[in-house]
Amino acid sequence: MSVAELKHDRAAHTYDEVAKLLSVSERTVWQLVKNGQLKAFRIGRSVRISRHELDAFIQRREARRIA
């Protein structure tokens, strides 16, 4: 699945998908979650990051960069 398809396709994403969307490594996504900068949730044994949380994270980063 391409990054363009990921952007609008799902309500929640895997760590791998988030890494592709942000152009970072999956390890970086794990660190962001561990440090509380990005919130994740479980569905059974799967861990997901909501599209809303990802959008909010990006907005916080953009606001910090502009300020």
| pLDDT for residue 67 is more than 70 | no
Between residues 43 and 65, the one the model is more confident about: 43
What is the per-residue pLDDT for 10?
A: 79
Q: How many separate domains does the chain show?
A: 1
Beta-strand ranges (E) seen in 1-67 are 12-13, 41-43, 46-50
Q: Measure the CA–CA gap between 17 and 20, rounded to whole angstroms.
A: 5
Kindly report the number of other CB atoms within 10 A of residue 46's CB atom: 9
Q: Which residue has the tokens 């969307």?
A: 21
pLDDT classification of 4: cutoffs 50, 70, 90:
low
- 14-57 per-position pLDDT tens digit: 999 999 999 999 999 999 999 999 999 999 999 999 999 999 99
Which pTM does this prediction carry? 0.80
Q: Measure the CA–CA gap between 60 and 16, rounded to whole angstroms.
A: 21
Structural domain span for residue 37: 3-66
CATH number at residue 33: 1.10.10
